[in-house]
């Protein structure tokens, strides 16, 4: 894998990366292969889990992370991303960028001579998907499951659709009309699912969607950049909350996931978040192990 812009870049290596993540987490892999490697971390958006997981992970693998706020870089004053890419390629071994626009990361890849990792854009969040797949496999043992994403078909949902299709996991997106995932990505997931046997669908009836579900997943209704639509989004999505009643309509051993941060008692109730069926805190921890596996895959000589 040369770059990780989209889950499409990892199509052939998903299971290899997940296996590396499991071995790193268990301590089976103890080596520190990234000594003398430098990771630049560019942030155009605030971050908790992405920043900490990459910074700690790079250190644990023996490398050195550098936090680069866009406000501190010259791109904050108008330097073209192409110039930034060319210069940073002379100093660093890899760049992870959390960007406002997917096009920014595509341009960075075009002009950089080093690997680029998408730490989140408005279109995809592949780093989160690797942590999610790792969590599902830990809890359920395999991907022969029904996964239901509930709420806004956002960037996280887009990457999960591809991850589900590639691993053969059935996935239903339960959302209101007008809040469906990216059409291009959804159609690609449908095509890829034909090869793996996964069943990919969109369902507007949330109660129908969660029948026989093994995993319920949600994200905030108002993502970064959507603040002006907050009131309307909350009104439209209010019926798509994960609460105890909805959870009872899934399988008895269903788990609940959320990529965080969560607005408690909005998209998910506090009761469900802290219940025995919540996998959320293990999911958050797995950002570290998944991100280490991505770095290991891209940078290990």
Is 36 a catalytic site residue? no
Catalytic residue among 132, 152, 182, 219: 219
The C-alpha atoms of residue 13 and residue 153 are separated, in whole angstroms, by 25
Is 238 a catalytic site residue? no
Catalytic residue among 49, 94, 102, 128: 128
The C-alpha atoms of residue 198 and residue 162 are separated, in whole angstroms, by 11
Q: Which residues of 188-205 are buried (b: 16+ CB within 10 A; e: fewer)?
A: bbeebbeeeebebebbee
Catalytic residue among 49, 102, 125, 258: 125
Is 219 a catalytic site residue? yes
Is 125 a catalytic site residue? yes
Catalytic residue among 49, 137, 145, 287: 287
Catalytic residue among 259, 283, 289, 291: 259
Is 93 a catalytic site residue? no
Is 175 a catalytic site residue? no
As annotated, the active-site residues are 98, 125, 128, 219, 259, 287
């Amino acid at each position: 894998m040369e770059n990780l812009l989209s889950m499409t870049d990892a199509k052939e290596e998903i299971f290899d990366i997940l296996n590396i993540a499991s071995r790193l987490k268990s301590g089976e892999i103890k080596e520190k292969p990234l000594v003398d490697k430098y990771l630049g971390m560019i942030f155009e958006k605030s971050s908790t889990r992405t920043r900490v997981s990459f910074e700690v992970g790079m250190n644990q693998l023996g490398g050195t992370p550098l936090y680069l706020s866009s406000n501190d870089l010259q791109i904050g004053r108008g330097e073209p991303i192409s110039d930034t890419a060319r210069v940073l390629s002379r100093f660093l071994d890899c760049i992870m960028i959390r960007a406002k626009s997917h096009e920014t990361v595509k341009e960075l890849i075009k002009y950089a001579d080093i690997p680029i990792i998408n730490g989140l854009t408005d279109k995809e969040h592949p780093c989160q998907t690797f942590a999610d797949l790792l969590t599902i496999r830990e809890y359920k043992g395999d991907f022969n499951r029904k996964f239901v994403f509930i709420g806004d078909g956002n960037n996280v949902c887009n990457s999960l659709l591809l991850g589900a299709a590639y691993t053969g996991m059935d996935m239903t997106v339960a959302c209101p009309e007008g809040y469906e995932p990216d059409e291009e990505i959804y159609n690609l997931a449908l095509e890829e699912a034909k090869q793996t046997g996964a069943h990919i669908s969109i369902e507007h009836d949330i109660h129908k969607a969660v029948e026989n579900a093994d995993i319920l997943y949600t994200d905030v209704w108002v993502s970064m950049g959507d603040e002006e639509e907050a009131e309307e989004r909350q009104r439209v999505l209010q019926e798509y909350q994960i609460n105890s009643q909805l959870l009872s309509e899934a399988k008895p051993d269903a788990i609940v996931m959320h990529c965080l941060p969560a607005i408690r008692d909005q998209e998910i109730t506090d009761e469900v978040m802290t219940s025995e069926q919540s996998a959320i805190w293990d999911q958050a921890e797995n950002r570290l192990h998944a991100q280490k596996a991505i770095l290991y895959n891209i940078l290990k000589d």
